[in-house]
């Protein structure tokens, strides 16, 4: 989809003039086109990406919104751009997660929940050294969807396997960044729900080689906190209740004509949960259900209610979104006052649809792009009322004069 307005045209023209005057070769190519003869330099691209100049800084949840860590940049032996990151895993971290004083006993990548937003460009060689601190008591790891550590996988630069890292040890993951898109990363050690709920996750953005149209950018990571840490442990299957005269371990035929009628009395049955269990009657089941008590965007409940995000009318914005919520089947994002173009997983430069709400399962992600026509204070929040009541709600403070934003069909 493509929007045009006077402001955007003026903005684009000024960018072109400035860039041309600086003689950046990439400026002479259409922003939205295909491969260019002279791609933008890595340094200039990193400037457009708003890469932080202080990768060691621990951003607050408010700062997290625009804090992009593009790593330590160098060239590898073949001349490819290499980006190196260090992630230190620490347990027993006390993380403030509300304005009411709730402190979460978290596990962190580099001291924050979520961990740093890692930002690289498609084709970069990425090295991520993960250090499991001496004082920790659990093994940990790093995992992100586009990284496959299978020996023969093309995404793997060195073919080295992924690692589970014991306390006091480190492991360096190396891979080629591809394909471009938005990815959650997280610790993949079992029980995973606990390692994720504790806070070992973040967002990785792989930018396309040719930049997306320039807009002001933000990152929003949706998460939650189950504060009942004493319930931690592996999820268990319900017990099997043998039935008198039943045969267990019946073979299941996957091919051929199976003309034998199933005799249900021969089948070992898994009991269907009673209403008591459905209603969470813990005495009858001996099992408790894990639920989140706090929901947030970027780590702290209601942070963007307390600190509204200031936007301007007529200015195009891009928000990288990822959902890492445990224990609830889905999460969602709903924006007031403007529709947004949605790019699922961020793996395509063409928007999927125009909407004001997206629903995301755990690990789902994408990109929102929008422009406000009118000034005002607009909410953005999950579209599950429970989540909004428990922290997942924020405000856009849109300033400026009303502007016209005509919408055109893609051509
Ligand atoms: Cu872990």
Q: To which residue do tokens 């793996």 refer?
A: 347
What is the pLDDT, as a whole number, of residue 38?
Answer: 46
How far is the C-alpha of 274 from the C-alpha of 117, rounded, in Å? 44
What is the rounded (10 degree) CA torsion for 31, 36, 41, 45? Answer: 30
Ligand 1 center to residue 189 CA distance, Å?
5
225 located within any domain: yes
Ligand 1 center to residue 193 CA distance, Å?
10
| Number of domains present in the structure of the chain | 1
SS3 content of the chain, % helix, strand, coil (to 5): 15, 35, 50
What is the pLDDT, as a whole number, of residue 56?
Answer: 87
What is the b/e burial string over 126-157, where b = at least 16 CB atoms within 10 angstroms of the residue's CB? bbbebbbeeebebbbbbbbebbebeeeeeebb
- Nearest residue to 304 via CA among 378, 196, 226: 378
153 located within any domain: yes
CATH of the domain at 308: 2.60.40.420
Beta bridge partners of 221: 322
Ligand 1 center to residue 197 CA distance, Å?
10
What range does the domain containing 49 cover?
2-229+293-408
Other CB atoms within 10 Å distance of the CB of residue 220: 21
DSSP classification of residue 66? T
Ligand 1 center to residue 94 CA distance, Å?
17
> Residue 388: phi, psi to the nearest 5?
-65, -40
How many alpha carbons fall within 13 Å on the CB side of residue 272? Answer: 1
119 located within any domain: yes
DSSP labels for 209-273? SSPPPP-EEEEEEEEEE---GGG-S---PPPPB--TTPPPS-----SS---PPP-GGGS-BPPPP
Ligand 1 center to residue 75 CA distance, Å?
31
286 located within any domain: no
317 located within any domain: yes
How far is the C-alpha of 215 from the C-alpha of 196, rounded, in Å? 31
pTM of structure = 0.80
DSSP classification of residue 363? T
Two structure tokens written together for 150: 């299978």
87 located within any domain: yes
Ligand 1 center to residue 21 CA distance, Å?
49
Q: To which residue do tokens 């990288």 refer?
A: 320
What is the pLDDT, as a whole number, of residue 362?
Answer: 95
399 located within any domain: yes
pLDDT tens for 309-334 read 999 999 999 999 999 999 999 999 99
H-helix or E-strand spanning residue 311: strand 309-312
Ligand 1 center to residue 317 CA distance, Å?
34
Ligand 1 center to residue 409 CA distance, Å?
46
What is the pLDDT, as a whole number, of residue 7?
Answer: 42
How far is the C-alpha of 18 from the C-alpha of 410, rounded, in Å? 27
pLDDT in tens, the chain (411 residues): 334 444 444 444 343 333 333 333 333 333 333 344 447 899 999 999 999 988 889 999 899 999 999 999 999 888 899 999 999 999 999 999 999 999 999 999 999 999 999 999 999 999 999 999 999 999 999 998 777 654 443 333 443 445 689 999 998 888 899 999 999 999 988 898 999 999 999 999 999 999 999 999 999 999 999 998 888 887 777 777 776 665 555 444 555 444 444 444 444 444 544 444 444 444 444 456 789 999 999 999 999 999 999 999 999 999 999 999 999 999 999 999 999 999 999 999 999 999 999 999 999 999 999 999 999 999 999 999 999 999 999 999 999 999 998 765 443
Omega of the bond leading into 114 within 30 degrees of 0 (cis)? yes
282 located within any domain: no
How far is the C-alpha of 200 from the C-alpha of 108, rounded, in Å? 5
Ligand 1 center to residue 188 CA distance, Å?
6
How far is the C-alpha of 142 from the C-alpha of 201, rounded, in Å? 9
What is the b/e burial string over 392-403, where b = at least 16 CB atoms within 10 angstroms of the residue's CB? bbbbbebeeeeb
What is the pLDDT, as a whole number, of residue 408?
Answer: 55
Ligand 1 center to residue 111 CA distance, Å?
14
How far is the C-alpha of 186 from the C-alpha of 175, rounded, in Å? 16
Beta bridge partners of 318: 217, 369
Ligand 1 center to residue 40 CA distance, Å?
38
Check if the beta carbon of residue 211 is closer than 8 Å to that of residue 122.
no
How far is the C-alpha of 2 from the C-alpha of 13, rounded, in Å? 16
How far is the C-alpha of 174 from the C-alpha of 160, rounded, in Å? 8
Ligand 1 center to residue 383 CA distance, Å?
30
Q: To which residue do tokens 């190519």 refer?
A: 29
Ligand 1 center to residue 71 CA distance, Å?
22
What is the rounded (10 degree) CA torsion for 380, 383, 387, 390? Answer: 40
């Amino acid at each position: 989809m493509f929007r045009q307005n006077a402001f955007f045209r003026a903005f684009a023209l000024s960018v072109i003039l400035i860039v041309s005057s600086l003689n950046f070769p990439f400026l002479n190519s259409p922003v939205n086109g295909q491969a260019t003869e002279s791609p933008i330099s890595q340094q200039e691209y990193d400037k457009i990406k708003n890469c932080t100049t202080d990768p060691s800084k621990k951003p607050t949840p408010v700062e997290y919104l625009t804090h992009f860590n593009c790593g330590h940049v160098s060239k590898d032996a073949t001349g490819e751009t290499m980006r190196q990151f260090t992630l230190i895993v620490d347990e027993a971290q006390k993380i403030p997660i509300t304005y009411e004083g709730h402190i979460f006993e978290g596990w962190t990548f580099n001291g924050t929940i979520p961990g740093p937003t890692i930002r690289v460009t498609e084709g970069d060689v990425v090295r991520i050294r993960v250090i499991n601190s001496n004082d920790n008591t659990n093994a940990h790891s790093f995992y992100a969807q586009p990284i496959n550590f299978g020996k023969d996988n093309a995404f793997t630069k060195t073919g080295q396997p992924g690692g589970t890292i014991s306390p006091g040890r480190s492991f360096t993951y190396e891979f080629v960044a591809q394909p471009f898109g938005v990815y959650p990363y997280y610790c993949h050690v079992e029980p995973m729900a606990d390692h994720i709920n504790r806070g070992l996750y973040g967002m990785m953005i792989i930018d396309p080689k040719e930049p997306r149209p320039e807009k002001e950018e933000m990152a929003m990571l949706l998460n939650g906190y189950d504060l009942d840490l004493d319930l931690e442990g592996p999820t268990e299957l319900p017990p099997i209740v043998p039935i008198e005269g039943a045969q267990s371990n019946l073979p299941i035929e996957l091919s051929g004509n199976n003309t034998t009628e199933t005799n249900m009395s021969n089948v070992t049955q898994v009991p269907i949960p009673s209403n008591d269990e459905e209603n969470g009657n813990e005495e009858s089941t001996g099992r408790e259900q894990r639920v989140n008590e706090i929901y947030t965007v970027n780590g702290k409940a209601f942070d963007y209610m307390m600190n509204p995000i200031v936007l301007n009318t007529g200015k195009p914005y891009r928000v990288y979104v990822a959902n890492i919520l445990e224990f609830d089947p889905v999460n969602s994002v709903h924006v007031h006052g403007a529709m947004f173009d949605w790019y699922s997983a961020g793996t395509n430069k063409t928007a999927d649809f125009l909407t004001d709400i997206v629903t995301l399962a755990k690990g789902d992600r994408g990109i929102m792009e929008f422009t406000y026509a009118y000034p005002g204070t607009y909410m953005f929040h999950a579209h599950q009322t429970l989540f909004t009541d428990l922290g997942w709600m924020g405000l856009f403070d849109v300033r400026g004069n009303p502007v016209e934003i005509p919408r055109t069909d893609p051509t």
